[in-house]
Amino acid sequence: TANQIKEVETVTPAKVDEAKQAAQTKSDELAKAEDSVKSAEQSQADTAKKVADQTTVVNQAEANANKTASAVADAQKKVDDLSNSSTDTTKLQKDVDDLTKKVADDQKSLDTAKQS
């Protein structure tokens, strides 16, 4: 048709070069976008691993705190039981005091781990 002939007549080497450059620019932009997606995916994977690692740290700190708290309760019960007898409880009281300090330290570690 006449319109198609007109359109073909307007195609010049300069327009072809311009179209090639535009296509190359779009290709470059697509490659950059694909790289950005890969980088974001890697960053997401790294973050997920850090979260999993931190969860493990928090869980371990919590388990340690619970274990120490249980030991304190056991020691306190022994002190209480022995308080009713004539046995010297100084050593046991020191153990209770030491374990109570450990519970406080474990709780501080747990709080620190949860904040990280």
Q: What pLDDT does residue 88 have? A: 67
pLDDT at residue 36 is higher than 90: yes
- Whether 92 contacts 75, CB under 8 Å: yes
pLDDT band at 32 (very low <50, low <70, confident <90, very high): very high
Q: What pLDDT does residue 22 have? A: 96
20/26 Cα distance (integer angstroms): 10
pLDDT at residue 6 is higher than 80: no
Q: In angstroms, how far is the first alpha carbon of the chain from the final one?
A: 72
Average pLDDT over residues 24-31: 96
Q: Considering only CA atoms, which of 57, 77, 63, 71 is closest in space to residue 99?
A: 71
